[in-house]
């Protein structure tokens, strides 16, 4: 299922954000324009009241029977569409009333009679207020204590402001509506240009051959894309290392398997061609030995494959001393064949948390290695001891022999697969200590190599984290 487009999502988020901001700005501008128009209209009514306060009786009577058109602009003539947005298209006739200091009306607009407002109470102070006349709302302004001692009151219908305010709002909104499609196109193009490195990266990976695992290079990449490029390059590096290791492992395994198979074939040919039954039997015994060696090598290769795949194995508390005893009994035949004396020194209370079969294989490989490369008539010492170290208790498993040992320069190579120290004539696959190292790593143990018994031979020490149970909580006595 294809996921949502980052480009489309960013586009929607940016445009929605801009539209929201513009809407808020438009509403705010509309309210501000309404307030400013109201203030302007109030000032205009005040000016009209002041002008009426200066007129004499004859002029007031003349105006009472006339229409006082207070529109600033009247639509007509040649005007553009933009110029008519705030024209005063509705009638804007002002009504007035002038009273003496005694409250007697000396002049007033005749429509006030029809609106039943001729005897409307006069506000006690100068100022503006809204009144309802004939069911309609009017804005009024009262001017008291004029130079002639009169009180002037001016009325204007409230709906005459709406066209002016709507015109202002229209002028604000029109550029935004025109600019929105242009802005959407620019945002779409900008986001596409910004995401181009991701497209370049995906094209580079898609076009890459399966055998090419060198780092990806897309030139100068943005800071946000660099972590993705670095992560992909690290993955490719790990894949390359893994493939190289598997290729080397496959080549070495093929080489190691080729040798015993060739020997088996030779011995089988000898058995077929040899007329002497004794020699024929000897050849067949060597065939069986070669098959056994090949089978053991195959088992070890399969075990290494399981460990390399990081297969999760169930761990249980176990005593390595008991497994050391079992391994000693299993290798007793090989020790007797070379007249090697094995001593066992185990702390049976020491426990680790691991998988019993793998720990048995670890002991078996350590003992087999010590017996195989030890001197005839020599000694091998196996020990399992508890050790208290800073930070964590440990259980140390050690196997030492008094054989020819390993040159110091070769110690760090002992865990390499198929490595066999120079000078050793014993047959082997070179996988034993590699398997020991991988099992130890699987259970959080460390492997160290050193000198064996009496300053000779090889000593292998495997240090496991000790298994400790959580101390039981003591119940406090009830108070």
Q: Is residue 81 part of a domain?
A: no
Asked whether residue 245 falls in the same domain as residue 298, the answer is yes
CA 183 to chain centre: 31
Asked whether residue 46 falls in the same domain as residue 113, the answer is yes
Does residue 39 register a pLDDT over 70?
yes
Asked whether residue 282 falls in the same domain as residue 343, the answer is no
pLDDT at residue 392 in the model: 76
Task: Give per-residue pLDDT as tens, 267-311.
Answer: 788 888 888 888 888 888 878 877 876 776 677 667 666 666 655
Q: Is residue 461 part of a domain?
A: yes
Question: Whole-model pTM?
Answer: 0.47
| pLDDT (average), residues 142-168 | 77
Asked whether residue 339 falls in the same domain as residue 299, the answer is no
Q: Is residue 116 part of a domain?
A: yes
| pLDDT (average), residues 446-460 | 87
pLDDT at residue 427 in the model: 53
Asked whether residue 350 falls in the same domain as residue 446, the answer is yes
Spatial separation of the C-alpha atoms in residues 183 and 411, rounded to whole Å:
70
Domain boundary among 267, 287, 306: 306
* 9 dihedral zone (left: phi>0; alpha: psi -120 to 50; beta): alpha
Q: Is residue 199 part of a domain?
A: no
pLDDT at residue 478 in the model: 41
Domain boundary among 254, 271, 306: 306
Find out whether 316 and 356 touch, Cβ atoms under 8 Å: yes
Spatial separation of the C-alpha atoms in residues 200 and 54, rounded to whole Å:
81
Spatial separation of the C-alpha atoms in residues 320 and 349, rounded to whole Å:
9
Q: Is residue 249 part of a domain?
A: yes
Asked whether residue 327 falls in the same domain as residue 258, the answer is no
| Confidence tier at 383 by pLDDT (50, 70, 90) | very high
Asked whether residue 14 falls in the same domain as residue 137, the answer is yes
Least confident of 7-21, 78-92, 304-318: 78-92
| pLDDT (average), residues 161-178 | 70
Does residue 477 register a pLDDT over 60?
no
Q: Is residue 251 part of a domain?
A: yes
Backbone phi, then psi, for 230, in 5-degree steps?
-65, -40
H/E stretch holding 458: strand 458-465
Domain boundary among 150, 170, 190: 170
* Number of structural domains in the chain: 3
pLDDT at residue 2 in the model: 47
Asked whether residue 273 falls in the same domain as residue 321, the answer is no
The set of residues, in sequence order, having a beta carbon less than 8 Å from that of 233 and lying 6+ positions away, is 215, 216
Q: Is residue 339 part of a domain?
A: yes
Spatial separation of the C-alpha atoms in residues 364 and 326, rounded to whole Å:
9
Task: Give per-residue pLDDT as tens, 324-343.
Answer: 888 888 888 888 888 889 99
Task: Give per-residue pLDDT as tens, 397-408.
Answer: 999 988 887 877
Q: Could you tell me which residues are beta bridge partners of residue 317?
A: 353
Asked whether residue 299 falls in the same domain as residue 269, the answer is yes
| Confidence tier at 4 by pLDDT (50, 70, 90) | low
Share of the chain above pLDDT 90, in %: 6
Task: Give per-residue pLDDT as tens, 204-263.
Answer: 777 777 777 777 777 776 777 778 888 888 888 888 877 776 776 666 566 556 656 777
Report the CATH number that the domain containing residue 100 is assigned in CATH: 3.30.450.20
Share of the chain above pLDDT 70, in %: 78
The set of residues, in sequence order, having a beta carbon less than 8 Å from that of 261 and lying 6+ positions away, is 290, 294
Spatial separation of the C-alpha atoms in residues 287 and 260, rounded to whole Å:
9
Report the CATH number that the domain containing residue 286 is assigned in CATH: 1.10.287.130
How much is the mean pLDDT over the chain? 78
Select, from the ranges 148-162, 181-195, 372-386, the one with the highest average predicted confidence (pLDDT).
372-386
Asked whether residue 42 falls in the same domain as residue 107, the answer is yes
Residues in the chain: 479
Does residue 108 register a pLDDT over 80?
yes
Q: Is residue 176 part of a domain?
A: no
pLDDT at residue 122 in the model: 86
| pLDDT (average), residues 107-124 | 86
Find out whether 174 and 167 touch, Cβ atoms under 8 Å: no
Asked whether residue 98 falls in the same domain as residue 128, the answer is yes
Report the CATH number that the domain containing residue 340 is assigned in CATH: 3.30.565.10
* 454 dihedral zone (left: phi>0; alpha: psi -120 to 50; beta): left
Asked whether residue 278 falls in the same domain as residue 322, the answer is no
Structural domain boundaries, residue 239: 226-306
Find out whether 352 and 467 touch, Cβ atoms under 8 Å: yes
Bridge-based pairing state of the strands 379-389 and 341-346:
parallel
**Residue 228, helix vs strand vs coil:** helix
Bridge-based pairing state of the strands 446-451 and 392-401:
unpaired
CA dihedral 436→440→441→444, nearest 10 degrees, is 180
The set of residues, in sequence order, having a beta carbon less than 8 Å from that of 254 and lying 6+ positions away, is none
Q: Could you tell me which residues are beta bridge partners of residue 465?
A: 394
Q: If we measure between CA atoms, which residue out of 64, 161, 57 comes closest to residue 111?
A: 64
């Amino acid at each position: 299922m294809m996921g949502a487009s980052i480009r489309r999502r960013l586009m929607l988020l940016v445009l929605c954000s801009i539209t929201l901001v513009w809407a808020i700005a438009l509403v705010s501008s509309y309210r501000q324009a309404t307030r400013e128009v109201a203030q302007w209209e109030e000032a205009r009514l005040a000016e009209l009241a002041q002008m009426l306060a200066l007129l004499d009786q004859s002029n007031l009577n003349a105006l009472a029977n006339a229409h006082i058109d207070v529109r600033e602009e009247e639509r007509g003539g040649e005007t553009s569409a933009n110029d008519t947005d705030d024209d005063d298209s509705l009638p804007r006739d002002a009504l007035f009333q002038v009273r003496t200091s005694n409250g007697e009306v000396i002049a007033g607009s005749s429509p006030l009679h029809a609106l039943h407002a001729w005897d409307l109470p006069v506000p006690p102070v100068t100022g503006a207020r809204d009144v309802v006349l004939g069911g309609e709302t009017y804005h009024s302004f009262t001017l008291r204590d004029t130079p002639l001692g009169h009180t002037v009151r001016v009325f204007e219908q409230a709906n005459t402001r709406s066209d002016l305010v709507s015109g202002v709002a229209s002028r604000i909104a029109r550029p935004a509506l025109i600019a929105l499609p242009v802005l959407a196109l620019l945002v779409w193009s900008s986001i596409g240009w910004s995401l181009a490195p991701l497209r370049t990266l995906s094209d580079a990976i898609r076009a890459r051959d399966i055998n090419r695992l060198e780092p990806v290079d897309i030139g100068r990449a943005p800071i946000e894309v660099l972590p993705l490029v670095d992560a992909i390059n690290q993955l490719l590096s790990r894949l390359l290392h893994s493939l190289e290791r598997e290729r080397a492992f496959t080549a070495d395994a093929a080489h190691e398997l080729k040798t015993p198979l060739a020997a088996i074939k030779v011995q089988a040919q000898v058995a077929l061609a040899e007329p002497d039954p004794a020699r024929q039997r000897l050849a067949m015994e060597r065939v069986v030995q070669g098959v056994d060696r090949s089978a053991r090598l195959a088992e070890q290769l399969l075990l290494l494959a399981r460990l390399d795949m990081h297969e999760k194995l169930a761990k249980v508390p176990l005593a390595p001393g008991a497994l050391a005893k079992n391994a000693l009994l299993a290798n007793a035949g090989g020790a007797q064949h070379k007249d090697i004396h094995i001593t066992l020194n185990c702390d049976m209370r020491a426990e680790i948390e691991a998988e019993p079969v793998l720990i048995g294989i670890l002991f078996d490989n350590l003992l087999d290695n010590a017996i195989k490369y030890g001197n005839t008539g020599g000694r091998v010492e196996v020990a399992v001891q508890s050790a208290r170290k800073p930070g964590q208790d440990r259980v140390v498993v050690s196997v030492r022999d008094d054989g020819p040992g390993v040159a110091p320069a070769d110690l760090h190579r002992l865990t390499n697969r198929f490595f066999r120290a120079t000078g050793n004539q014993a047959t082997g696959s070179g996988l034993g200590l590699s398997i020991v190292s991988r099992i130890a790593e699987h259970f959080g143990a460390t492997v160290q190599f050193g000198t064996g018994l009496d300053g000779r031979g090889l000593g292998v020490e495997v240090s496991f984290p000790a298994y400790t149970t959580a101390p039981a909580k003591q119940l406090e006595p009830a108070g």
